[in-house]
Amino acid sequence: MKTLKNMKNLLIVVILSLVSFGCEKEELTVSTPPENNLVTNLTLRNKLSRITQYETSVDNIIDNTNCFTVNFPYTITVNNQTLTLQDESDYQTIKNIIDEDDSDNDVVTFSFPITVTYYDYSVQTFVNIQEFNTAIAGCVSSQELACMQFNYPVGIKTYDSQNLLAETFSIGSKKALFELLNELDNYDAVTFNYPLLFITPNNATVILTNNQELDTTINNFISDCNTVIDPDPDFNDIITQGSWYVSYFFRDTDQTDDYEIYDFVFNGDGTVSVTGESSPIGGTWVSFNDDSELKVVFVFSSSNLEELQEDWTITEVTQNVVKMEHISGGGDDIRKLHFTKN
């Protein structure tokens, strides 16, 4: 019996030794800081978030905002024609109605309630036009990079150096990757499990082996994505054609009515001619690039237009509508200005 007891004790010692060796081996796998860490690469993280965010510009012809996308199905009235939209193929029908007459003012009216999805995949329901307009005025437009994407699933490695833990798993969708990117600060390090398959705007698949190759590839195609979002983004050429009126101005409240009497002509020499008061109003305008953003500054000779004198960031350009916004006060003061061609 004593011999049997000794054998059992020996067996327990052997098992404990094997368990200890296994844990020690796992700790060694995270003893070296990983390469290609996304946690500390804020610039790449931002681009990846824009690639994986929910697409919000696809229905701009209808809701006139990059803040969110209206969820199917929903009913709208366009120039006195009522239609129920079931999927993205119906956008072309709306475009055809709007393009029928270039001289009219196209009006899109929603049948409420409607439900929308924001860039971060959050969902909200609006029961009337007031809630809809307030949401547009209060949100910051996003610019997705939807023209490129990963070939899912994507392998991910996460590291926790404090607890000497490592985990490898797969991400199966861009929503799941977007959510992970927003939680990166909870980890010491997160890396892709390279090589990755990445799909470019022309549907070519490229193989990437590190963060530098990924960042370079994204940079090479950013302009292609912007072209998809804004098919005719040449602001200077468009704004100098014809006359324009303020179709929307928001600062704390909707103040569009304060500017409805004015017509603006933006001349190619940088001057502005404004009519609507007893005497014509003069002014100047200049557009410029600021950290990859297109901006425009207006100066007017009348104090009645001083609220429009800001460095506006251009958020959308079409042949008939130009939208811009100004954010100050650490993001607390958001102003919106839309010009529509007469």
* DSSP secondary structure, 176-214, as one string: HHHHHHTTGGGSSEEEE-SSEEEE-TTS-EEEE-SHHHH
Res. 221 pLDDT band, cuts 50 70 90: confident
Residue 111 pLDDT exceeds 90: yes
Range in 90-99, 160-169, 174-183 the model is least confident about: 160-169
Mean pLDDT, residues 286-298: 80
Q: What percent of the chain has pLDDT over 90?
A: 43
The H or E element spanning position 157 is strand 154-160
If asked whether residues 192 and 63 sit together in one domain, one would say: no
Residues 6+ apart with CB under 8 A from 82: 75, 76, 111
Res. 23 pLDDT band, cuts 50 70 90: very low
If asked whether residues 240 and 336 sit together in one domain, one would say: yes
Residue 19 lies in a domain: no
Of residues 66 and 312, the one with the higher pLDDT is 312
Residue 293 lies in a domain: yes
pLDDT at 9: 43
> For residue 79, is it left (φ>0), alpha (ψ between -120 and 50) or beta?
left
Residue 73 lies in a domain: yes
Mean pLDDT, residues 226-248: 73
Res. 103 pLDDT band, cuts 50 70 90: low
Residue 171 pLDDT exceeds 70: yes
Angle between helices 42-52 and 211-229 (to 10 degrees): 50
If asked whether residues 34 and 150 sit together in one domain, one would say: yes
Residue 7 pLDDT exceeds 60: no
Q: How far is CA 176 from CA 3, 49, 53, 54, 167, in A?
A: 58, 11, 10, 11, 16
pLDDT at 3: 46
Mean pLDDT, residues 284-311: 85
- Strand-pairing partners, residue 295, are 288, 313
Res. 234 pLDDT band, cuts 50 70 90: confident
Residue 8 lies in a domain: no
pLDDT at 153: 96
Residue 204 pLDDT exceeds 80: yes
If asked whether residues 246 and 317 sit together in one domain, one would say: yes
CATH number at residue 250: 2.40.128.270
Mean pLDDT, residues 168-185: 94
Range in 6-15, 143-152, 229-238, 309-318 the model is least confident about: 6-15
pLDDT at 140: 67
Quick one: CA torsion of 105, 106, 107, 111, rounded to 10 degrees?
Answer: 170
Residue 22 lies in a domain: no
- Strand-pairing partners, residue 82, are 77
Given a contact cutoff of 8 angstroms between Cβ atoms, the answer to whether 146 and 178 are in contact is no
Rg from Cα positions in the chain: 27
**What is the total count of domains within the chain?**
3
If asked whether residues 193 and 331 sit together in one domain, one would say: no
If asked whether residues 253 and 326 sit together in one domain, one would say: yes
Domain range holding 212?
29-39+146-229
If asked whether residues 202 and 124 sit together in one domain, one would say: no
Please give the mean pLDDT across all residues of the chain: 82
Of 77, 109, 138, the domain-final residue: 138
Residue 11 lies in a domain: no
Mean pLDDT, residues 86-101: 84
Of 210, 229, 248, the domain-final residue: 229
* C-alpha span between 192 and 196 (Å, rounded): 8
Q: Which amino acid is at 293?
A: E
Residue 265 lies in a domain: yes
Res. 291 pLDDT band, cuts 50 70 90: low
If asked whether residues 270 and 320 sit together in one domain, one would say: yes
